[in-house]
Amino acid sequence: AGRVDKLRHQVEAAGGMERRYWVCAFCVNQHASICSDFGRPPANDPNGAARWEANCHDSLTSEKLPRCPCGEPKHFNDSPALCELNKFDDMMDFLVESVPGFRQLVAVDRNFDIFTRLWCIAELVQASLSAIPQTVCLLSDEVLDMDNADLSIYIKLANLKATECCATRPEDKAAIMAKIPDVYEFDAQLQALIFGTRGLLAKRLVGTDVLYAAVRAVVRISAISKA
């Protein structure tokens, strides 16, 4: 209780108690979609299968997570009108038009895996296209320090491709990819969103223009070679 009170006082001092957040995991009715099942494990993807298996278990106790027995009717891609999972772009357009000062907060995990989740990058690019201001919250800037000898995060981000990103349900990935008219252009927009002069990580990167130029060249060369 003491730690919670301390946190509450800190939030109050920062004037954040009345700030409201839209969190899809809470705002979307999970009982009308995924609460009763873990979905199918990814096929032909050992890393994805391992991640799926880990997500089926409590990260603290390692016990398998219980599945919800609520019996609420489920609506997925086969019933698009009733499904709540397929409307993030419409929801974002609505919020930015109806909520003064609306912006997107990007909470980046330790390993930057957020940028490998197709739902997440689709929302990031949609926010950029809808001119929604974006703020990035990192666990630490250390991994992005130009003096850091570990370049794995840079390599990971510079090689992002929508087709290689993952979603829990293959049907969701197919539905999102179907909304992308030009995958190579989408990939280029994603790189600009991350590395560009006004990108998500621009304030954290020294020499970001050089990095962005290099990444942009790689994306274009890759697109030409596959055309």
Residue 29: how many other CB atoms lie within 10 Å: 12
Q: What are phi and psi of 95, to 5 degrees?
A: -65, -40
Q: What is the mean pLDDT of the chain?
A: 82
DSSP category for residue 114: G
Bigger pLDDT: 73 vs 215: 73
**pLDDT at residue 109 tops 70:** yes
- Chain segment 25-59, per-residue pLDDT in tens: 888 898 998 898 888 887 777 877 888 899 899 98
CB count within 10 Å of CB 178 equals 9
Each residue's pLDDT tens digit, 53-96: 998 999 899 999 999 999 899 998 888 899 888 888 888 999 99
Quote the pLDDT of residue 32: 92
First-to-last alpha carbon distance for the chain, in angstroms, is 59
Kindly tell me if the per-residue pLDDT of 217 is higher than 70. no
- With contact defined as beta carbons under 8 Å apart, do 31 and 70 qualify? yes
State CA 13 to chain mean position distance. 30
Residue 97 has pLDDT above 50, yes or no: yes
Q: What is the pLDDT of residue 62?
A: 93
Question: Which residues have CB under 8 Å from 97's CB, separation 6+?
Answer: none
> How large is the average pLDDT for residues 137-163?
76
Radius of gyration of the chain (CA): 19
